[in-house]
Amino acid sequence: MNKIKVINEPSELVSMLRAVDTPVKRDVLKDVTLEWKTSKEMEDKYGPEGKVALQFFEKMKLVETRWQPTGGNRPEKAYHTYYNSFHINASWPVYEISDVLYAAMMPDDDFDEIERNILEQVGKEGRFAGDVAENLGLTATMLRSLVKRSIKMDYRGHRLELVKE
């Protein structure tokens, strides 16, 4: 069955752009497109960055998972791409798309600092996204884009919460 990801919201572009922003992420994505792969297989092949790439893809809902038997006693979680193709509906105001592209392309050091500030605002209990955006002087689109880039937090309705391991 063909599954098509339709991108209607500008911040959803962040996950697509960040999914292939390094050679390792690009190669891991190609591998899980071809067949089911475990986190251990990707870590053995690409190092720790391969495992992190799978975590990112899972948070972005770009991969589906299943438990598969291994040579050991416990089954392992395996990953495969969820979508066969993407459809991008691109008609957004310049001020929105500029926030999205900036969030996707900003240097890692700059992102790490902003991510740390957002995480401090969110705390362990979570927080209303509008309050976080206002406190940090960010637009709603910028905040949503930054959260899409992060593997440490996600939206739950209108709240920001830490991603549970």
152: domain CATH number is 1.10.10
Question: How much is the pLDDT for 18?
Answer: 87
Q: Are residues 72 and 132 in the same domain?
A: no
How many independent structural domains does the chain possess?
2
Q: Are residues 11 and 65 in the same domain?
A: yes
Question: How much is the pLDDT for 165?
Answer: 66
DSSP letters, 27-78, are HHHHHHHHS-EEHHHHHHHH-HHHHHHHHHHHHTT-EEEEEE--SSSS-EEE
Last residue of a domain, one of 29, 54, 88: 88
For residue 33, give its domain range. 4-88
Q: Are residues 21 and 64 in the same domain?
A: yes
Q: Are residues 8 and 84 in the same domain?
A: yes
Q: Are residues 98 and 151 in the same domain?
A: yes
Question: How much is the pLDDT for 16?
Answer: 85
Q: Cβ–Cβ contacts within 10 Å for residue 89, how many? A: 9
Last residue of a domain, one of 37, 61, 88: 88
Q: Are residues 25 and 67 in the same domain?
A: yes
Amino acid symbol at 125 = E
Q: Are residues 19 and 36 in the same domain?
A: yes
Last residue of a domain, one of 68, 88, 108: 88
DSSP letter at 163?
P
Question: How much is the pLDDT for 159?
Answer: 94
Cα 123 to Cα 153: distance, rounded to the nearest angstrom: 10
pLDDT digit of tens for each residue in the chain (165 aa)? 678 888 888 888 888 888 888 999 999 999 999 999 999 999 999 999 999 999 999 988 899 999 988 777 788 999 999 888 888 877 888 888 899 999 999 999 999 999 999 999 999 999 999 999 999 999 999 999 999 999 899 999 999 999 876
